[in-house]
Amino acid sequence: MTERTIERFVIISGCSGGGKSTLLSELGRRGFATVEEPGRRIVKQELQGDGSALPWIDAARFARRAIAMSLADIAAAAAHPGWVFFDRGLIDAAVALEYLAGEPAATTAGGHRFHRRVFLTPPWPEIYVTDAERPHGLAAAVTEYERLRAAYPELGYETVVLPKVDVVTRADLVLSLLGEFSSRC
């Protein structure tokens, strides 16, 4: 892929339960390509199967599956013109694997680069909920958020912590900061 292709790929990361998926839905509603969080897809698959690659059973195996799925997502996203917004993805999975198994995130990410600006959703206790795919509590989500908040700048990304505002305002802010509020890359 060319540098321009990767520059079109924007990561929405941050705290579990912080509104990432809602933001991606709003961006999709506006016509932008979006990629669903690998972790959620893996958990759904595992809960229907033997369930051995779940983050609460074998977190390293889960992270490796998320990396493989993310690489496939990147390849598929190349076909989309304009901005492509990722709900987490490769870097988040690589950071998790580094934490779990000591494998450097920069190496695991395989040199794949995304847009230099990464948008982080902060911990938001008022909207945080657990479910079958997210059984961990807010404290674990905050710990993960802090790890990601530190890792992205170390990997050469500029992070923007999104305000706790309604989803339309959040989407407007993301597009404004990308310099593409009214155009499509």
- Residues 43-92: tens digit of each pLDDT: 888 888 877 887 788 889 989 999 999 999 999 999 998 999 999 999 99
Distance separating alpha carbons of residues 158 and 116, to the nearest angstrom: 6
Q: At what angle do helices 90-101 and 138-154 cross, to 10 degrees?
A: 100
Q: What residue type is 148 in one-letter code?
A: L
Q: Give domain limits for the chain.
A: 3-177
CATH class of the 3-177 domain in this structure: alpha beta
Instruction: Please say if the pLDDT value at position 136 is more than 80.
Output: no
Of 11, 8, 32, 1, give the one whose Cα is nearest residue 148.
11
DSSP character at residue 108: H
Query: Which residues lie below 8 Å from residue 96, measured CB to CB, with a gap of 6+?
Result: 59, 63, 66, 144
Determine the average pLDDT of the residues in 147-174.
Answer: 96
Instruction: Please say if the pLDDT value at position 7 is more than 60.
Output: yes
Q: According to the model, what pLDDT value does residue 182 have?
A: 41
Q: What residue type is 101 in one-letter code?
A: A
Q: According to the model, what pLDDT value does residue 183 have?
A: 44
* Mean pLDDT of all residues belonging to the chain: 88
